[in-house]
Chains A and B, each alone.
Chain A
Amino acid sequence: MTTTAILPPRRLIARTLGTPGAVAGSVILAILVLGAIFAPWLSPFDPNATRVCPRLAAPSLQNLFGCDLFGRDIFSRILHGARLSLAVGLLTVAISLIAGTFLGMVIAFLGGRADRIGVRLLDVMLGFPAIVLAILIVAVLGVGAFNAALAVGISGIPRIARVIRSATLTLVGREFVDSARAVGASQTRILRRHLLPNLLPIVIVLGSLDLGSAILSTATLSFLGLGAQPPTAEWGAMLSAGREFMRYAPWTMIFPGLALFLAVMSVNLVGDRLSHVLDPRASGSDG
C-alpha cells in the first residue's frame, strides 16, 4: 500500500521538470508570464495607439509582428493580450475549482439525499456542452472579459465537482476520517482539515489541466464577440478582427494564434507532467 507521499515544494518542482516536454512548457510559460507582467515596459508602442505604423504593414524590425488595420503594433498588443488572457484564464479556473471543489466535497460528505440530488443536478449541467452553457451565461450577464471568465468558470464547475465528489467518497470511507470523529472533530473541521488537504493534489492537477482549455474557451468567446470588447487587446478578439485580412496580411492572425497556441500548449505540458508527479496511482514513477 502506497500512501500519497507529500513532496516538499523544491523537490516537487525538480520532479515536475523531469522531462524535456515539461521543461519546454515551463520555459515558454515563464516567457509568456514575464511578458505579461512587464508588458508596459517591453512594448515598443501603446497597444491601443493607432497609426503608429502603416495600416496592415508587414513585420519589420520596427514592428516585429506587423501592424493591424488601424495601424496598431501587433507585438505590443500581444504582450498586453497575454496579461488579459492569462489573468482571465486563472480567474476562470479559480472560479470552477473553488466552487466545484466545495460542491463536490460537501455533497459527498453529506451523502444520502444531498448526494443523490446534487449528482443529478450536476448530470443535468454536464448534459449541456460547456461552451453553449457559457454563451447562455454571457447572454444573461452581458458581454465583457470579466463576464466571459465568469461564464466559462461556471460552466466548468460540474466537471470539477464530479471528480472531487468521487475522490471525496473514497476518502470518507478511510479510517482516518473515523478516527478524526473519534477525537471529537466537528464536521467542518473534518472537511477543512482532513479531507481538503488530501484532495489538494487532485485539485492542483485538475486546475493545471483546465487552465489551457479555460484560456481557449475565453478566447473563443472573445472571438465570437462575447468576451473582451474592442479596443481591448485580447488574443481571441485580435484573431477575430484579423480574419478578414488573412490573405493580404496573415500576420494579423498568425501571431495572436501562435500566442494562443503556445500558451495553451505550455500550460498543458506542465499540467500533464504535474498530474503525473502528483498522481498517487502513478506511484512516482518517471515516464
Chain B
Amino acid sequence: MADAPLLSVEHLDVTMRGIPVLEDVSFQIAPGETLGLVGESGCGKSVTALSIMRLLPNPPGKIAGGRILFDGIDMTALDAAGLRAIRGDRIGMIFQEPMTSLNPVYTIGDQIGESLIVHRGMSGSAAKAETAKLLDLVGIPSARNQLGRYPHEMSGGQRQRVMIAIALACRPKLLIADEPTTALDVTVQAQILDLIGRLRVELGMAVLLITHDLGVVAEFCDRVAVMYAGRIVEEAPAAELFRRPRHRYTEALLHTMPAANPPGRKLPSISGTVPAPLDRGDGCIFAPRCGFAVPRCTAELPPLEGAPHRLRCWNPA
C-alpha cells in the first residue's frame, strides 16, 4: 500500500448507551481497493459502517474515541453540513434491505436523481438523462422506460440494482456495501456481486464490503478484516487469510464453511457464545471459547500487530 489510504479508521471506539460496542477498531482502505469486513451477527460490522458515514443514531450511539479519516478529512469532527456534502457524493452506501430502502411513493427515477440534484445542483431534465445512464450502468434494460416505475413494481434484485445506482450517482470514491446480498436469492446474489465488482473497476472506487458470507469475501475482496465482539482480531490479504488463517477464531470460522467439510457430515460449530459486552474480562474476548488458550490469553489483551498480516492473538496458529 504505497498510496495514501482513502479511508483510515484509527482506534475507533463506539458506545451504545455507555456500553462499548466497538473497541479500538483500526483499518485502512487504499483507493480502488476492496476490503471485506466479516464477522457474525452483532459483532459490530454494521455499526462500523454507520459510524464511518456518521449515520449512527445518537443517542444511543456515540463515537467515544478515535478518528475516521476519509481523504484526509476527519469525519468525526465534521458538522451536519460538512457530512451532508460527503454523504452520497464522495461516499455511497448500499443497505441490506432493498425492499424497504426505497421510498415507496417516488418513482425510481426520482430517487436516483435525488443525489444528483442535492450534490450537483442538476436540473430535473439533466438529472433524468443522467439517471437513465445510471440505470443502464447497473444493468436495468431499456432504462428510459423504467424511470417512471415505483419500487413495488420491481423485484428484489432490480431494487438492489436501483440502490446501487443511487449510491453511485455521484461517482463516489468509496462505496460502503452493508450486506448487499443477504436479502436476495442466491442466483441474484452472484449477479449483484458481479455488478459491484465490475463497477468498482470501471469507476475506480474503493469498496468496503460488509458480509458474514466467507465465500463472498474469498471471491471478491483484496483484503479481509475479521471482527469478533467489537474488535478486529485479524486482517490480511484475502488469499493469505484463507490459505493460512492465524487467529484461532478465523481458523474456527473457516472450519465451519460448508465447502471446507465433506458432504453428508454434520458441520462443525464454535462451542459457547459471544460474551455480553459488560462481561468480557481483561484478556482476549475469544479466550473462553478458544481451544488453544494459554494462561496469558485470559489475563492480558493481545494487541493488533503485524504487517501486512495483522493479528490479535497470543497463541496464533
Contact = CB atoms under 8 A, between A and B. Distances in A.
Contact of A179 (B59, B86, B102, B104): B102
A175 B95 contact: yes
Interface residues of A, number: 25
Contacts of B118: 183-185, 189
A180 to B, nearest CB: 7
A182 B93 contact: yes
Interface in B104-157: 104-106, 114-115, 118-119, 150-152
B104 A3 contact: yes
B55 A178 contact: yes
B85 A184 contact: yes
Contacts of B163: 179
B53 interface: yes
Given A174-B100, A175-B97, A182 B106 contact: no
Q: Considering residues A3, A5, A174, which has the most beta carbons from chain B within 10 angstroms of its beta carbon? A: A3
Nearest to B87: A184
Given A175-B97, A178-B55, A183 B105 contact: no
A194 interface: yes
Nearest to B118: A184
Contacts of B104: 3-4, 6, 176, 198
Given A178-B95, A181-B87, A185-B84, A197 B106 contact: yes
Contact of B101 (A112, A179, A185, A197): A179
Contacts of A197: 103, 105-106
Nearest to A197: B105
Contacts of A6: 104-105, 150
Nearest to B54: A181
Contacts of B119: 184
B114 A176 contact: no
Given A3-B152, A6-B105, A6-B150, A182 B100 contact: no
A186 B59 contact: no
Interface string A107-124: 000001000000000000
A189 B87 CA distance: 14
A185 B93 contact: no
Main secondary structure of the interface of A (DSSP, over half): helix
B55 A182 contact: yes
A178 B88 CA distance: 12
B99 interface: yes
A1 interface: yes
A187 B84 CA distance: 10
A3 B115 CA distance: 23
Contacts of B234: none
Interface string A184-213: 111101000110011010000000000000
A176 B99 CA distance: 9
A183 B92 CA distance: 7
B33 interface: no
Contacts of B92: 182
A175 B178 CA distance: 12
Nearest to B98: A175
A94 B151 CA distance: 31
Interface string B58-91: 0100000000000000000000100111111100
Contacts of B87: 181-184
B224 interface: no
A176 B85 CA distance: 19
A174 B115 CA distance: 19
A183 B95 contact: no
A184 B105 contact: no
A180 B103 contact: yes
A185 B87 CA distance: 8
A181 B55 contact: yes
A172 to B, nearest CB: 10
B225 interface: no
Contact of B102 (A176, A184, A186, A193): A176
B162 to A, nearest CB: 11
B86 A184 contact: yes
A182 B87 CA distance: 5
A3 to B, nearest CB: 4
B166 interface: yes
Given A6-B150, A182-B53, 9 more contacts: A175-B100, A179-B101, A179-B166, A180-B103, A182-B55, A182-B93, A183-B118, A198-B103, A198-B104
17 contacts: A4-B105, A5-B152, A6-B150, A112-B59, A175-B95, A176-B102, A178-B101, A179-B93, A179-B95, A179-B166, A181-B55, A183-B115, A183-B118, A184-B88, A184-B89, A185-B118, A197-B103
Interface of A: 1, 3-6, 112, 174-176, 178-187, 189, 193-194, 197-198, 200
Interface of B: 53, 55, 59, 80, 83-89, 92-93, 95, 97, 99-106, 114-115, 118-119, 150-152, 163, 166-167, 169
